[in-house]
Structures are given as C-alpha cells and as structure tokens.
C-alpha cells in the first residue's frame, strides 16, 4: 500500500474525483439552473441577457464534467465501467441532452425569426432540465445502491434507474440548481428582470429548502446506514450543520441584496451535498443491492498505485493552473451583462 501524507493514494484519488464533481456541481450547476429558468423570461431582450450571462463560461463549466469522467475512468475504472454500462439509457439521454443544449445556445442567435428562437429557447431549457434531473437520478441510485453482481457486472434491468427515491433526489437537484442559477442571474441582471429574479430566488430557495428537508428525512428513514459514519465520528455532524446554516444564509444574504456572497453559499451547498453523500457512503462508492460482498469500494475498484501516483502528480500540476485561469475568465466577465456586437 502506498500513501501520501500517510493517507492511502486511493483515498486521495477519491478526494480528487469528489473535488472535481463538486466543482462541476458548483459551476455547471448555475448555468444549468439558468437554463431551467429560461422560459420564465418572456421578452426577447431578457432571454438574450440571461443567455449571455452564462455565454462566456458555460463551456468551461461543462469541461469539469469531462475532467470528472476522465478522473473516474483513471482512478476507479471498475466504477466507471459498471455505472456507465448499468445506466446505459440514462447516459445516452444525458449526452443527447448535452448536445441539444450546446447547439441551442450556439444556434439560437443565428436567425431572427421568432419561431427559430423559440425552438432553441425550448431546446435549451428542456435540455437543461433533463440534464439536471438525470444527474439527480444518478445520485439517487448511487446512494441506494445498484444491482451489481460478480465481477462488478450489473444484473438489473434497463429501467431500474427510475424509482421513488431517485425521483426525489432528481427534484432536489433541480431545486438546488434553479436556486443557484437564479442567484447567479440576479447578480448579472438589472431593472425589471432583476426584480423578477429576486422573486425567483425567494421561490426557488423555498422550493429547495422543502425538498432538501424531505430528502434528508426520507434518507434517514429508508437508508439509515447513510448516517452510520456520522454516528461513528460525531465531529462529522459539523458538515450537515454547516450545510444547514449555509442554506439559511443563502436566503438571508439574497434578501440583503448581497448576491455575490449568496452565490458563494449556494455554490458551497452544492458541493456540501456531495460531501455529505460521500461521507455517508465511504469507503463504498457504489453499494451493491445484491450482496454487500459486491460493493464497489475505494479499495477494490481503484487503479494500480503507480497509475494513481502519476495521476496525482498530473492533478497537482493541472488543477491549480485550471483554477487560476478559470478565476481570470470569471473576473474578465464580472459585473452586469452588457450586450454588444459579440453577444449571442
């Protein structure tokens, strides 16, 4: 066994994968949320402003998904292979939705006709909602576990991914991202549109609060083992406590019109929810519903130590660079949206 700072390399890599997906939730979360809210804007100019608010950054945000997929493939190939082949249909719908979303954003501004623009507005919004829901469905299934059998091969059926619990996590994810997106848009808009968005921030944060509490209770009742880790190490209860306080803070800061700070907290909540799930499952990554012997854990599904070591070096070099210029790009496009000749 190889370690770094006396922590197993496999655990390190689990943290890296977790960090990348958290980054994805924070970043793509707000532009997916903005997409989900898109049709609530009625006027052409409002829609353009909403679209251009995410215009320069959505592509970069989506790259975190690509990095996350690669990181999972590199660090935990067994998990990557089993989960992706188990959820064949949802993943295919997911990529098709990603394609539709990308081309809707790109194509919308290319023609002036109202029907053309409405078509891509609907495509953009529907794809954003579908992507968000599918992400939530996946998360829900990972928490409950999936029918993994010998050799980590999936034994379930095509439509197992749809179940009450995964639908609940899907709705919660949608609530979270729409809230996150509404705050982002509130930060980027002015006047009437801004006024409408302050109402949306209120409604979506209320919606998220309700779904989040429901989800927590349902999880504690039906998947009580998710709380085991917390009971073993009571200090971990800090995490849910901080999540709760942050959630309250989102609303409080938004009402004080401190959108930037509020946005930071909603980003933090997006990441903390994944942290909560990870703590609840650890060291398991995907529980098997057939037999705990087939659980996929950090220890039995990772790549070799030499590979993990190489990848950690790559991540140590790459992540700070990416973080630096991501901040630079966001800084370049700070402030309210201004439409000019280069806009969508």
Q: Minimum CB separation from another protein for residue 270, in Å?
A: 19
Find the shortest distance in angstroms from Cβ 333 to another protein.
7
- Between 103 and 279, name the residue whose CB sits nearer to another protein: 103
- Give the H/E segment covering residue 3: strand 3-4
**From 43, 110, 192, 231, residue interacting with another protein (rule: CB under 8 A):** 110
DSSP letters along 29-74, please? HHHHHHHHTGGG--SHHHHHHHHHHHTTTHHHHHHHHHHHHHHHHH
Which pair of structure tokens corresponds to residue 207?
Answer: 């919606």
Q: Give min distance, CB of 254 to another protein, in A.
A: 26
**Residue 294 touches another protein, criterion: CB under 8 A:** no
Q: Which part of the chain contacts another protein (CB under 8 A), choosing from 93-101, 174-182, 237-245, 281-289?
A: 93-101
- Least distance (Å) from another protein to the CB of residue 55? 6
Using rule CB under 8 A, residue 69 touches another protein: yes
Residues 143-182 that bind another protein (CB under 8 A): 151-155, 158
Q: Would you say 61 or 270 has its CB closer to another protein?
A: 61
Looking at 57-65, 215-223, 246-254, 273-281, which segment touches another protein (CB under 8 A)?
57-65
What is the contact mask toward another protein in residues 202 to 231, using x (rule: CB under 8 A)? ------------------------------
Q: Tell me how far apart the alpha carbons of residues 247 and 195 are, in angstroms, rounded to a whole number.
A: 22
- List of residues 6+ apart from 311 with CB closer than 8 A: 13, 16, 71, 74, 75, 303
Rounded-to-integer distance, Cα 173 and Cα 21, Å: 14
- 194/196 Cα distance (integer angstroms): 5
Give the residue with the Cβ less far from another protein, 98 or 218.
98
- Answer yes or no: are the C-beta atoms of 271 and 243 closer than 8 Å: no
Helix ranges, 108-150 (H): 114-144
Q: Does 95 bind another protein (CB under 8 A)?
A: yes
């Amino acid at each position: 066994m190889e370690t770094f700072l006396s922590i197993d390399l496999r655990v390190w890599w689990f943290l890296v994968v977790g960090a990348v997906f958290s980054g994805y939730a924070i970043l793509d979360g707000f532009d997916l949320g903005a997409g989900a809210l898109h049709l609530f804007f009625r006027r052409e100019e409002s829609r353009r402003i909403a679209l251009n608010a995410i215009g320069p950054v959505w592509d970069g945000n989506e790259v975190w998904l690509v990095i996350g997929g690669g990181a999972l493939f590199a660090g935990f190939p067994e998990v990557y292979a089993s989960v992706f082949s188990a959820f064949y249909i949802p993943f295919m719908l997911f990529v098709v939705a990603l394609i539709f979303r990308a081309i809707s954003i790109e194509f919308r501004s290319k023609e002036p006709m109202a029907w053309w623009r409405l078509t891509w507005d609907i495509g953009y919004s529907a794809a954003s909602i579908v992507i968000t829901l599918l992400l939530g469905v996946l998360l829900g299934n990972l928490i409950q576990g999936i029918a993994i059998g010998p050799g980590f091969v999936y034994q379930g059926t095509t439509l197992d991914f749809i179940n009450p619990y995964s639908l609940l996590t899907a709705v919660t994810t949608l609530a979270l991202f729409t809230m996150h997106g509404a705050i982002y848009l509130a930060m980027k808009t002015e006047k009437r549109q801004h006024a409408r968005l302050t109402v949306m921030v209120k409604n979506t944060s209320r919606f998220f609060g309700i779904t989040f509490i429901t989800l927590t209770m349902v999880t504690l009742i039906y998947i009580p083992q998710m709380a085991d880790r917390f009971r073993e190490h009571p200090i971990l209860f800090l995490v849910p406590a901080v999540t709760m306080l942050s959630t309250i803070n989102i609303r409080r800061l938004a009402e004080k019109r401190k959108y930037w700070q509020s946005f930071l907290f909603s980003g933090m909540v997006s990441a903390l929810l994944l942290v909560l799930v990870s703590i609840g499952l650890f060291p398991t990554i995907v529980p098997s519903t057939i037999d705990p012997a087939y659980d996929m854990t950090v220890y039995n599904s990772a790549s070799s130590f030499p590979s993990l070591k190489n990848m950690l070096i790559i991540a140590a070099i790459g992540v700070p660079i990416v973080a630096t210029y991501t901040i630079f790009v966001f800084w370049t496009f700070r402030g309210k949206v201004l439409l000019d000749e280069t806009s969508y």
